[in-house]
Every structure is written in structure tokens, then in C-alpha cells.
Amino acid sequence: MELGESAAGGFPRVREEPEGEASAMDESLSLGRIAGVRVGLHWSVLVIVALVAVLLARGRFPSAHPGYSPALYWVVALLTSVVFLASLLVHELAHAVVARRNGVQVDGITLWMLGGAARLRGEAPTPGAELRIAGVGPLTSALAGGVLVGLTWGLEVLHAPGLVVEAVAWLAAINLVLAVFNALPAAPLDGGRILRAFLWHRTGDRLRATRGASAAGRVLGWLMVLTGLAAVLFARDLSGLWGALIGWFLITTAGAEARHAELHSALDGVSVGRVMTPDPVTVPYATTIDAFLAEGPFGPYRHSAFPVLAPDGTVAGLITMDQVNRTSPKMRYRTTVGDEMRPLSDVVTAAPGDPVVDLVPRLHTSPVRTALVVEGDDVVGIVTLNDVNRALTWPTAARRKQPEPPS
């Protein structure tokens, strides 16, 4: 989640993005579900597959075991790249499974250029849960590396082809390297989350712990950027660019985590019902686009998205002005709102009593950046990131004050 600073008051601010703009790690290809967790690939994963394949097929394999055909080097290198991605997936699945066991919902896993990301909905409830969720990642990679070391030894004893042994040995080494690197005490690495769990346990302050882990992440990131660029400039080693890229990713992500923690602290205890726009304008399912446009503009209503009601009065979906504008003017007289709307299954929903801080990341990954607030079958409100920003401009005590129950 990307955050910025408001220009006026210095409050945390959630960045609004236009409909249809993809998140940096939105999946491009769905692989279905594994262990009940949705798994997808981002297009940038092709970069890491190509990079690993080139380094192995053109470098390590021919150097260590000359005499094979170029085609065989490429086949083994590509297979090794795929197994490497599978090991990254196992690492992220371990995070997801342990997170669910500790009461944290998991939206899915996306593999991309710099590894993988398990999208968790909400925060770990305790330092102990944070430690378990973070620690299982490096432990899984270390275990995988150990198993592959044993497999390498077994293949050598059985006198397997040298190229196969080399591929398994590389996979063993890279998993052990990943385990060590991920265990470094710097956010957003797993070791940074372990550090945050330790600081949280010691201080009792989640925000202070996150600031400490994020600061460590920025320091590590700058060290990697500087050493990577130095390797390129002084040693003519282009592989330093990869280290510099990872370092820059650590810097930006650690900063984003710190700002997210500030947002979490600012909105702690605030419910969706206090942020939403109540009683939004609704549109019947069978209304034509022409008839819908004839009713606008909608006066004091602040949104460009509208709940769509089924014939029985229950909420069926959401229509946005972007969807309306994409409808051909010649077809608007016979195209209904129901034809163009996003069905409810594709819309972010929340209950009035849900914590708004848990809704923000879901809003940020939604194509329309809008959530419907529902009670039973009825829509009672609508929320956008701008609504959250408006709430953040109010003093803390006012934000957290809950309405008195009726006497």
C-alpha cells in the first residue's frame, strides 16, 4: 500500500489511484488455489526466469560441465528456473498457512520479479503471532536447502549425470542463500518482521517497533545500492545492478511499511461506519444507461460509483462513471446498468462495524478503489480512499470517539 503526506496538516494520507491502474504486484496469470490460497504470477516473473536461465545456460553449466550440447544446457537451465520459482512459492505458502492458523486472513500469493508476496489481510494480533508468521519463511527455505543438499549428495553417490547434480546443487545453494538473506533483521524481509516482533514484545508499542524495523530496512537497502553501484563502476561487474535494484526495493518498501504503520495508528479503533458516506444514491438493475445519465448530476453526492439494486431490492453490484463512459452512445438507450455493472462478487464489501484500517489495503488493490458497506442484503454506505483521507484530517480523539448508544 502506498501512502503519502497531506500537504496541509501532516496527517498520513492514502494515495488515490484511477480506476483500472494496476497495483505493482497485481497477478497477470492465475494458477488457481494451493492449500486453499489463491496463487498467481505477475508478468515480471518472466524476467527472473530468463535471468536465471541465461546465467546457468551460458555461464555456470558450461563452465562446470563442458561438452554438452547448447540445447541441453538451456533445457536444464529452464527446468532449474521453474523449480526455483516453485521453491519461492513454497516459502510464501508457508507464510500464508501459518498466518491463517494465527487468525490472519490471506487474500493470495503473487510471484513476481523480485520473489513472492503473500497478501495478508490485517496485522498479526500479537508479537508471538508475528514471530511465527515471519519465522516460518526462512525456516522453510533452509529446510528446502537442506533437503536439496542431501539430494545432491545422493545423486553423486548414484553417479547421476553431472549436469543434473550441478542443477540440484545450485538449487540447494540458492535456497540456503535465500534463507540467510530473508533472515536479515531489516524490513520488509522476514528478519525485519522478526525484529519488529521482538521490539513489539519489549516495548509493547507496535508503531515504535515498525519504525525500528523500517529504519533497519532502509539502512540495509542503501548499503546494497551503494555496494552494487560500486561493483558496476569500479569492478565492471554488471551483476551489481541486481543488488542495487533489490536494495532500492528494500528502501521503498521499508518506507511504505513505516507509513502504513502510521496510518494504522491513526485509524486504530475507527469503524467503517464512521468513515462511510451513508445512504448512497442507488440505481435499479433494469435502468438503461440513457435513463441513468438523465438523472445526473447527483448534487451533494461525492462519488462517481453507485450501488446497483436487484429487482427484489438487494444489492447486486456497482456501476462507475468510467464504465458508463465506455458504453457506446449509440447503445445506451438499450444497454442497462445491470449489463455494465461489476457484480457484487467482484466488489469490495465491508460491514459498518469492521475496522477501517483493515479495509484500506483492500480498497487499494480494488480496480475501482470503492467499497460497499452492507448489512444483511442492504447497502447502507459507500467508502473510497478519499473518505479515509477526510477522516484522517480530524483530530485523533474525534476520529476514535464512538457514537453513544440510543437510550
CB-count burial class (<10 Å; 0-12, 13-18, 19+) for 57: buried
Sign of the C-alpha dihedral computed for residues 271, 273, 277 and 281 taken in this order: positive
- Which pairs with CB-CB distance under 8 Å and at least 24 residues apart come from 133-136? 133/95, 133/98, 133/99, 133/102, 133/104, 133/193, 134/95, 134/190, 134/191, 134/193, 134/194, 134/197, 135/190, 135/194, 136/94, 136/95, 136/98
User: What type of residue sits at position 204?
Assistant: G
User: What type of residue sits at position 148?
Assistant: L
Give the max Cα distance, the chain: 87
Query: Does residue 12 have a cis bond before it (omega within 30 degrees)?
Result: no
Pairwise CA distance, residues 221 & 253, whole Å: 10
Pairwise CA distance, residues 343 & 311, whole Å: 14
Pairwise CA distance, residues 79 & 342, whole Å: 40
HSE-CB of 223 using CA atoms within 13 angstroms: 7
Report which secondary-structure segment, H or E, holds 37. Answer: strand 37-41
Report which of 148, 129, 138 is spatially closest to residue 90, judged by C-alpha positions: 138
The one catalytic residue among 92, 130, 166, 257: 92
- What is the chain's length? 407
Q: Which residue has the cell 533452509?
A: 142
Active site residue 27: no
Rounded to 5 degrees, φ, ψ at 29 are: -135, 120
Give Cβ neighbours of residue 272 (< 8 Å, ≥ 6 apart).
Answer: 350, 351, 352, 353, 354, 355, 356, 359, 371, 373, 381, 383
Q: Is 162 helix (H, G, I), strand (E, B) or coil?
A: helix
DSSP structure string for 111-152: EETTEEEEEEES--SSHHHHHHHHHHHHHHHHHHHHHHHHHH
User: What type of residue sits at position 6?
Assistant: S
Active site residues: 92
